[in-house]
Structure 1
Amino acid sequence: MKRIALILLTCIVSISFAQQEDKEQVLALKKANGFVYEGNSLIKDDFVSGEMAYRQAISKQPNTVAGIYNLGNAYYKEGNLEEALYRHEQAAKATNSKSEKHKAYHNIGNILMQNKKCKEAVEAFKNALRNDPTDNETRYNLGIAKICAEEQKKQEDENKDDENKEDENKDDKDKKDNEDKKDKEGDDKEDKKDKGDEEKKEGDDEKDDKGNPKEDKGKGDEDKKKEQQKPKPQPGQMSPQQIKNLLEAMNNQEQKVQEKMNAVKEKGAKIKTEKDW
């Protein structure tokens, strides 16, 4: 009996706690809905107060879809697309209602279109139609998003083709520059080789057959030319140097004769002069 009584007591306590928890959740939900209603009343004329009311609703009941969804709409109307997208994605995850999911995904698609993310918008509108296939407005937006996504893809492909062409042109230019560089290096090597061969040839010209350096042709030719210009003594004739020596000897002899004649005059006697050769 005691064991049965203990089990009954435990069940009663559990039920009490569950009822208390349910009461608290119901109370929190009522407070959250009250803040949502307050936010709806304030948001048109006082955005800051309306935003605060929605945030209080979310703090009381984090999964209150109405507060999250309405706050996302408020951000969208204010042009804060980033915060609006975050709140609508949060609302889509928080609810199990197809109707609420449909509205959240529809608005997500509109925000993505505003951000020119057409491909992502197509997926958002598809998710909206999965939850409500009868909404023609969502279907229309999906068609617009598909056209936009196709245009963006086409533009991306064209840009990619242009980039590939630029890369190909750059590769061709680099290849041509490398070829020109190689050709120039080849020409420089040929020039150096020709110059080296020419210097080697000049060096070889300065050596005789035995490999010995040859004398300077210019100087040898000049000395040879001077030697040829000198008068060569013919057989039976005196050379210029011999004539010069003879004239000097005659002068010396004449001077001696003159001295002797002067001496004879002084003494009064004649002398016979000798002939010079």
Structure 2
Amino acid sequence: MKRLLLLLLTLCVSVSFAQDKKDKEQLLALKKANNYVYQGNKLIEDDFISSEMAYRKALSENNNSVEAQYNLGNAYYQEGNFEEALYRHQKAATNAKTKAEKHKAFHNIGNILMQNKKCREAVEAFKSALRNDPTDDETRYNLALAKDCAKDEQENKDQNQDDKNNEQEKDNENQEDKDDKNKENDDKEGDNKNDKENEDKGEEKDKEGDKDEDKDGKPNDEKDDKGKPEDQKDGKEKSPPKPQQGKMSPQQIKNLLEAMNNQEQKVQEKMNAEKQKGIKVKTDKDW
């Protein structure tokens, strides 16, 4: 039993000693962090790089140091690095334990958002700052500016949307006009194509009519007349051939002489026959 009590007492002393050691280390880290913050504050006006290094050393000793985060954020803000400044002040607002610390962090967050043209977000940041310190007139004034900026921002956004819609409508109208013109051109091309096809068909029909001539060069109407009497061809009586004018061929002359001889022979034979009968034959025509 005595041994158990001795063991428990030893454990309590060890735990107490370890806790004391941890508390001392934390206090030493806080002290070092505060010293680095103090160095950074002294260097901020003349040497940004050295000041930034001092604040970072403070955060390496105590990552939850609100003072180091807040002052480092201010240093970045003065250098125009708003993105890094916003990040540091958001960390300070998260780690802040008092309303005063939260108020200062949110106030600066609102200022950074205004610089980034994020007016609606800035309004919310200034409202958060006023919740932690409603008496700060500067924060209230900045809130009014942020509200006006947010209103203008919304109006510009609406105007841009209206302009975009109008431009879209104009583009749609232009596209419709373009489609109508294309359709009209297509219709004209279709009409021209149909006219061309009809014209080509007419030419082909004419060509087919020419092809219908027989191998001897005779047209269809002559071919259709085959098998009909000569006087019914073409639906008309064929007129007797007209005598040709001009010089007669030797064959024609020969035929004509033979016909005359035959006619003369017939007349002579008839006269001889009449003489034999004793009848006078007239040789002149009656008038």
Match of 1:233 in 2: 243
Q: Matches of residues 123-202 of structure 1 in structure 2 within 5 Å?
A: 123-202=124-203
**Contact in 2 for aligned 1:118/1:146 (Cα 8 Å):** yes
- Provide Cα deviations, 1:62-109, integer angstroms capped at 9, x if missing partner: 111111111111222222222221211111111121110110110111
Q: CA 1:35–1:197 in structure 2 vs 1: closer, same or farther (change >3 Å)?
A: same
TM-fit CA distance, 1:141? 0.4
Q: Distance in 1 between matches of 2:48 and 2:204?
A: 100
TM-score, normalising length from structure 1?
0.74
TM-fit CA distance, 1:49? 2.2
Q: Matches of residues 216-231 of structure 1 in structure 2 within 5 Å?
A: none
Q: CA 1:151–1:240 in structure 2 vs 1: closer, same or farther (change >3 Å)?
A: same
Match of 1:262 in 2: none
Unpaired stretches in structure 2, ≥5 consecutive residues: 220-241, 254-287
- What amino acid is aligned across from residue 68 of structure 1 in structure 2? Q
Percent of matched pairs sharing the same residue: 51
Q: Distance in 2 between matches of 1:78 and 1:203?
A: 89
Match of 1:116 in 2: 117
Match of 2:258 in 1: none
Structure 1 counterpart SS, 2:248: helix
Q: Distance in 2 between matches of 1:233 and 1:45?
A: 138
- Provide Cα deviations, 1:96-136, integer angstroms capped at 9, x if missing partner: 21110110110111111112111111111111112112211
Match of 1:26 in 2: 27
- What amino acid is aligned across from residue 151 of structure 1 in structure 2? D
**Contact in 2 for aligned 1:119/1:145 (Cα 8 Å):** yes
TM-fit CA distance, 1:207? 5.9
**Contact in 2 for aligned 1:39/1:54 (Cα 8 Å):** yes
TM-fit CA distance, 1:30? 0.8
TM-fit CA distance, 1:243? 8.2
TM-fit CA distance, 1:3? 3.0
- Provide Cα deviations, 1:236-277, integer angstroms capped at 9, x if missing partner: xx751348997xxxxxxxxxxxxxxxxxxxxxxxxxxxxxxx
Structure 2 counterpart SS, 1:240: coil
TM-fit CA distance, 1:202? 4.1
- Provide Cα deviations, 1:9-48, integer angstroms capped at 9, x if missing partner: 2222222111110110001111111111122222222222
Q: Distance in 1 between matches of 2:142 and 2:36?
A: 32
TM-fit CA distance, 1:51? 2.0
Q: Distance in 1 between matches of 2:157 and 2:192?
A: 52
Q: Distance in 1 between matches of 2:138 and 2:77?
A: 18
Q: Distance in 1 between matches of 2:83 and 2:4?
A: 60
- What amino acid is aligned across from residue 103 of structure 2 in structure 1? H
Structure 2 counterpart SS, 1:233: coil
Q: Distance in 2 between matches of 1:78 and 1:197?
A: 83
- Provide Cα deviations, 1:158-215, integer angstroms capped at 9, x if missing partner: 111111121222122222222221222122112111222233234445666xx94597
Match of 1:51 in 2: 52
- What amino acid is aligned across from residue 19 of structure 2 in structure 1? A
Q: Distance in 1 between matches of 2:64 and 2:218?
A: 112
- What amino acid is aligned across from residue 241 of structure 1 in structure 2? M
- What amino acid is aligned across from residue 72 of structure 1 in structure 2? G
Segment drifting more, 113-122 vs 176-185: 176-185
Note the aligned Cα RMSD (angstroms). Answer: 2.8
> Paired residues, what number?
229
**Contact in 2 for aligned 1:69/1:87 (Cα 8 Å):** yes
Q: Distance in 2 between matches of 1:213 and 1:145?
A: 99
Match of 1:66 in 2: 67
Unpaired stretches in structure 1, ≥5 consecutive residues: 218-231, 247-277
Match of 1:96 in 2: 97
